[in-house]
């Protein structure tokens, strides 16, 4: 029960990594607002938590719209009794080389991945400064530390998320606020399934990706969720302004 008595907001909580984070947090005693643009997904995860004896409420919103995350935080405070943790996890990916990336492409990825995290962090900081602090966890990526020729916009946004996180950690430590990133490699999520499905040979695409990893597989979202859980907990009380790479050793190798 590492999060007993804590209240969290998880964006993108209706599927993939967000879902696993919600499940992990509620198993450890937290109450969670499941924030997602997909109302059915948010409700489904909240129902899953309730069936397991935990506490979660669905909240439909768009992280790119000012006030939407603030509304979720207010709901956490009013309905669940507080606000201590936010996991800014909602994001999108666009596979396109830079020379084929349009201004509209660039703006879309930046609006969701960077502006959305900015709004989530800003609204969380405003609430946490008056309530004794808390933990901010942002989903970055191994591409915040490396490069990919087919994901320039995504890479830029995830690098920006890491920089923003560091600035928050320095600026608001005196308020009892910690800010960290989790930087996953590829995971078994709807996003990666969509990528495989868009390739000429999904089986070959999967085999190529898995073959790049030292262990011959990509991550299960629950494995990454454990890193988020640690950063959210008091076990990480002196961990701030940094990141945890969860990639099975991918970025540790040269070839």
Phi (first) and psi of residue 8, to 5 degrees: -125, 155
217, two tokens: 């597989």
The answer to whether 213 is a known catalytic residue is no
Tell which residue, 77, 72, 75, 74, has the closest CA to residue 87: 72
Q: Where are the beta strands (DSSP E) in 156-247?
A: 177-184, 243-246
Among the listed residues 145, 144, 153, 15, the one whose alpha carbon sits nearest the alpha carbon of residue 95: 153
Please choose, from the candidates 27, 91, 88, 84, the residue with its C-alpha nearest in 3D space to the C-alpha of residue 56: 27
Q: Which residue of the set 154, 213, 243, 255 is catalytic?
A: 154
| Both tokens assigned to 231 | 């950063």
Contact 246, 184 (CB under 8 A): yes
End-to-end C-alpha distance for the chain, whole angstroms: 41
Cβ atoms within 10 A of the Cβ of 70, count? 17
The residues that are catalytic are 154
């Amino acid at each position: 029960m590492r999060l007993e008595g804590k209240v969290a907001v998880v964006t993108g909580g209706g599927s993939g990594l967000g879902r696993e984070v919600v499940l992990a947090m509620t198993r450890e005693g937290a109450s969670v607002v499941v924030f997602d643009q997909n109302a059915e997904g948010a409700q489904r995860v909240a129902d899953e938590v309730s069936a397991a004896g935990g506490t979660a409420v669905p909240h439909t919103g768009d992280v790119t719209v000012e006030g939407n995350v603030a509304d979720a935080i207010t709901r956490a405070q009013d309905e669940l009794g507080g606000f201590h943790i936010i996991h800014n996890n909602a994001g999108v990916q666009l596979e396109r080389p830079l020379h084929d990336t349009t201004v509209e492409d660039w703006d879309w990825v930046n609006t969701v991945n960077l502006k959305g995290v900015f709004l989530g962090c800003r609204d969380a900081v405003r609430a946490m400064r008056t309530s004794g602090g808390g933990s901010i966890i942002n989903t970055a990526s191994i591409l915040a530390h490396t490069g990919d020729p087919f994901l320039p916009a995504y890479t830029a946004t995830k690098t920006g998320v890491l920089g923003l996180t560091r600035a928050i950690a320095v600026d608001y430590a005196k308020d009892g606020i910690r800010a960290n990133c989790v930087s996953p490699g590829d995971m078994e999520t709807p996003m990666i399934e969509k990528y495989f499905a868009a390739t000429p040979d999904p089986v070959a695409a999967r085999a190529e990706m898995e073959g790049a990893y030292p262990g011959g597989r990509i991550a299960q979202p629950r494995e990454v969720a454990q890193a988020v859980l640690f950063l959210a907990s008091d076990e990480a009380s002196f961990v701030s302004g940094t990141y945890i790479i969860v990639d099975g050793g991918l970025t540790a190798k040269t070839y």
